[in-house]
Every structure is written in structure tokens, then in C-alpha cells.
Chains A and B, each alone.
Chain A
Amino acid sequence: MALLKMEEWYDLARETNWTPSYASEEELYPETMSEDFGIPLNVWETFDEPYKVSYRDYVRAQRDKDVAAYSVKAALARAEFFKNASPHWKALLALHFSAVCWAEFHSASCFGRMTRFGRAPGMRNMATFGTLDEIRHGQIQIYFAYEFLKHDAVFDWCHKSSKTENWIIISLRHALDDIAHTRDGTTAGVMLNMGLEQSFTNLQFVALSADAAKCGDHSFATMLQSIQTDEARHAQIGEPLVRILCENGRKKEAQQMVDISFWRMWKQFSALSGIGMDYYTPLEHRENSLKEFMEEWVIGQFGRTVEAMGLALPWYWDYLKHDIATFHHAQQIGVYVYRATQWWRPIASVSPAEREWLEEKYPGWNDTFGKCWDVVTENIRNGHYDKTVPAPPPLICNMCHLEVSGVAGGEWQPVDYHVDLDGRRYHFCCEPCKWIFELEPARYKGHRSIIDRAFDGTIGPELDDFLNYMGQSEPERGVCGYDYQWIDGYDTPVAAE
């Protein structure tokens, strides 16, 4: 073989900046799209990606990854698995796929922003792989979801959710659009890679694949793992960017980018992964709790990464340690009791055995969030299903667009923060969400939450109006995934009165 080794020519493909003369710098790098932070080009050119791969090796490796995932044998195994899957697992799959498919595909455009408007040639090239990866992630997950569609129409939301005004989709769009799609190419690179990919995708993909493997859904597990290896490669864009910023007098800016994006994505993952791991994963297949996973992988590992880069831990780190034990528990109550506002079939997942597990992992759970569930359970026992749905809607945070929640029951703690601006009151679930708003009010102030719209005339007054506005026709409104047959355990139907 007389081929060159990659190291012999790789650097030439990163020597691609030139001095323009037919269009100005400003015309080529407009402010809305691009920001060099006053750092000279020759410094951006020191961007060095830790993992180097050539296009040639990329297409070979990626082709191999997809062979296993798309095999007929794997498809048959998946179909068989799904037919026998519990409502737990079905709820988890529906929630995961409806959220990630379009979100991943959408990320391709963020990498496009980096390639076109970033200043570092190495970053341009790595972001090209990022774009291709995200197209892959969107397509492979939608392919998996499509196979479930013939068994369960809920999976239609994997294709159409991004077009709706459903409150959960608004929440996810707001967060991703904020960090990945409306920033200059460099900031988007730091925010997406540090705030989402390096910090959290492990949570959803590694943890979920472990749970999936235990559940017997092996090809789902394998697919998720292969996505995570892609993530590890293109997420590496973030660290060299942060280093360049820190070493050139822009540490404060880099810190703020990480602080904003991490918090925005924490809120999303606390709902998606928190509900997924602590409630939707069948009890016998659960590995770590959300709190345990966050402590090890995020507060631990990611925290160390942040410090190793020369940044400080985000200012809210202590508050995060409290939030990981509370926020998602409150959200889960809301997702169940307001189940008609979900397009999938939510499950309560607080049967006696599950409550024991929750108490073990979150000491005090029964005395706090458990107290709300006590009332719900009692209503079900008495056949008062309509009383399990609160009449008034919940207050929604104007930043994360999830419920403004605190601690329930015996340790009741109402939590709410607000900002008054131009005659309008904005509510926030926590200080960090409020802090983000106050950093750049113009970015957020014109947006209206689903609750704002419910009361400003955008949406009609009836529940039907609300659900139709959110894109949910009658059959698309969530019902209890177990038809209430869970209060005394899944093998114990509720006795008739």
C-alpha cells in the first residue's frame, strides 16, 4: 500500500483561510451570524480538534455503523419486541422519539452555522461532519419510530410534532432555538457542544441504551450507542473553542455561554430523561436514578471537564444539586394529571413497588410529591377519574416553558420568580431561568408561553380549543397508559366498588 497516512496531509486541509478582497470582512461575516470576539484570525487558526478523522475514514466507519442498525433481522426483532412491550416502555419510546427526531435533524443547521460563520478552519471541517451526523441521527431515529407506527399511531408525532404548538414542543424549540439556532457561529458551537452534547447526551443516550438493553430492546440500544459515538466525535468542537476564548481575554463570555446553555438543556433533560429514567423505564430494568446519573456523569464528570478548561463551575451548581431531586418529580405529576395535553399515553408509575424505589432513591419522596399522588390514587380507587384532572391550568415558566414548581406535601415550598417588563409579568421556575432572561430581555420578551396565549385571546376559552391549538385531535389526547389499573400494582386490577 502506497497511501499516505492521514497525519501527512491533514493539516493542509485546515490551512484554508484567506484574506478576502472582493467582499469585505463585514459582508462575509455579518454581525447576526458571526462574532470573532476581537480575536485575530491567526489565533482562531490554532483551533485543534482532539479526534481527527478523514472524510474517507468517516464514510467507511459510518457505513459500517448503519449496516447493523438497518438489518432485516434487527427490524424483525424490534417489531416482535414492540408488540410485547409494556405501556411503560411504549410511553418512553413515544416520548423519546417524538422529541429527538426533528431536534437532531434541526441541529444539522447549527453545524452549518459553525462551518459558514466560524473563523477556525478545523472547526469548519469538524462541523461538516457534525452536519452529516445530525442528518443521520434524525433519519435513523425516525426510521425506527416509523416501524412502530403501524402498531401505534402515537408515533405519527415523531414526524409532525415539530410543526405543532404543543406545550412540550414549544419548550424544546425555545431551548434549542435559543442555544443552537439564533447565536453567532462561535457561540452556537460552544453552547451546543458544551451545553448539550458533552454535558447531557450521555444522560439520554447512554443511560437509555443501558435500560433498553435490559428491557431486551437490543437494536434500540445499539442504535443509541452508535449515536453517542458520533456525538463524542463532533462534540469535541466545544473545548478548543472555549480554550481559545479563555486564552484571549474572553473567559467571561465563554463562562456565560456555558452557564446559559447548560441550564437551558438541564431543564429539557430533567423532563425528558428524568421522567424517562425514574418513571417510564420499567422498575425491574432501572439502573441509576436521574439523581445518581446526574451526580456521577454531569455534576462529577462534566463539572471536572468545565474546570479543566479553565472555567468555573456555573454559579448555580449548588442549586442544581437540589433541582435534580425535585424538579422532574413535580413535572411528572403535571404530565400525568394533565395527560390530555400529551400526545402519548402518560403513565403514573407510582404503584406501591415503584413508590418504594422512589423513596429509596429520593428519601422523603413519599412525604412530599407522594402526597399529591395519594390524592390521585384515592380518587382512582373511588372511581372519580375526573377528579384526577385539575381544572385550572398550571403556571408555565417563561424561560424553560415547563411548570413553575416547587416542593409538595409535607415540606411544601412554593417557588416562583418574576420580572415585570413593559407592562407584562414574566414568571420563572427558578433563579437561573430568570437570570437568563435578564441577561438579554430583547431575546425573550416578545415570546408568549402557552399560558400567556391561553389568556390573551390567542386560544379560545374551552379545553377543546386549547387541545386543538396544540395540534391534538380527539384521538391524540393522552389517556392513562394503564387505564388506571396500577394503583395497587400492575398485576392487581382495581377492585370494583
Chain B
Amino acid sequence: MAEFPIACNLQGDYGFKVIVVDEDDTIADVIQKTSDQLVGVLVAPFPPDTVLKARIHGAEEPLDDDVTLKGANILQMAALDIYAEG
């Protein structure tokens, strides 16, 4: 267990939020943690068939949902965009 903070910007939110994650969390876990904390708080619920993806801020391609943060080499205070696919 190694917890650390990263910064996530969920689609629709006005800025980045600092989310506490674990190096063994998958990208899907991070997306879930972020949307759990911000959907219905600063961002309206997404349409039911929305698929949320994460990418390193500034990157073109999404990260693989099943990869762990450790595996993706996502370190302390990295910034991720979480956006609706399509």
C-alpha cells in the first residue's frame, strides 16, 4: 500500500482536483474515484452510456483502463484529464 496524491480534471469541472490514489489502483479505479467525488457536486451526471477515459494531461491517447498507476509510471502529483470518449 503506497498512497500518494495526483491531480485529476473531470470533464466539465472548472479545474484540477487532488485525488488520493494507490500505486496498485488501476486507471479505471482512478476514474471511478474521481467521478464518485465530483459527479453531482461540480459536474452533472453523464448520460448512461458514457465511457470515461483518462489520459496524461497534454497527451493525445487515453491510458489503458486495466493498467495500474505503477505500471503506467504515474507518479506523485501527475496530472490526468478524465473525459468522455467519443
Contact = CB atoms under 8 A, between A and B. Distances in A.
The answer on direct contact between A and B (beta carbons under 8 Å) is yes
Interface of A: 329-330, 333-334, 337, 369, 371-372, 374-376, 379, 387-395, 403-409, 412, 414-416, 418, 425, 427, 451, 454-455
A427 B12 contact: no
B17 A409 contact: no
A395 B18 contact: yes
B14 to A, nearest CB: 4
Nearest to A426: B77
B17 A394 contact: yes
A371 B77 contact: no
Contacts of A392: 17-20, 34, 37-38
B15 A394 contact: yes
A451 B17 CA distance: 11
A226 to B, nearest CB: 38
B68 interface: no
Contacts of A403: 14-16
B14 A330 contact: yes
17 contacts: A329-B14, A334-B14, A375-B42, A388-B41, A392-B17, A394-B18, A403-B14, A403-B15, A403-B16, A405-B15, A405-B16, A408-B13, A414-B57, A416-B58, A427-B16, A427-B77, A454-B18
B62 interface: no
Contacts of B13: 372, 408, 412
Contact of B44 (A337, A375, A414, A418): A375
Contacts, number: 105
Contacts of A333: 14, 42
Nearest to A452: B77
B31 interface: no
Given A390-B38, A395-B15, A395-B17, A371 B44 contact: yes
B76 interface: yes
A215 to B, nearest CB: 29
A416 B79 contact: yes
Interface in B36-64: 37-38, 40-44, 57-58
B26 interface: no
Contact of A390 (B17, B77, B83): B17
B39 to A, nearest CB: 9
A425 B42 contact: no
Nearest to A386: B41
Interface string B67-86: 00000000111110101000
A337 B42 contact: yes
Contacts of B83: 412
Which of B11, B20, B38, B77 has most A Cβ within 10 Å? B77
Contacts of B9: 406, 414, 416
Given A406-B9, A416-B79, A427-B79, A375 B18 contact: no
Given A374-B44, A427-B7, A427-B77, A416 B12 contact: no
B79 A330 contact: no
Contacts of A371: 12, 43-44
Contacts of A406: 9, 14-15
A425 to B, nearest CB: 4
B14 A416 contact: no
Nearest to B42: A372
B27 to A, nearest CB: 16
A334 B41 CA distance: 12
Contact of B15 (A330, A374, A388, A454): A330
Nearest to B45: A375
Contacts of B34: 392
A410 B19 CA distance: 23
Contacts of B7: 395, 404, 416, 427
B22 to A, nearest CB: 14
A404 B37 CA distance: 18
Nearest to B76: A425
Contacts of B43: 371-372, 375
Contacts of B38: 390, 392
B2 to A, nearest CB: 13
Contacts of B44: 371, 374-375
Top 10 nearest A-B pairs by Cβ distance?
A: A405-B15, A395-B16, A408-B14, A414-B9, A392-B17, A330-B14, A425-B77, A395-B7, A416-B79, A414-B81
Given A416-B7, A416-B79, A394 B40 contact: no
A410 B12 CA distance: 7
Nearest to A396: B18
Contacts of A407: 14
A391 B35 CA distance: 11
Nearest to A326: B14
A395 B77 CA distance: 9
Contacts of A390: 17, 37-38, 41-42
B46 to A, nearest CB: 12
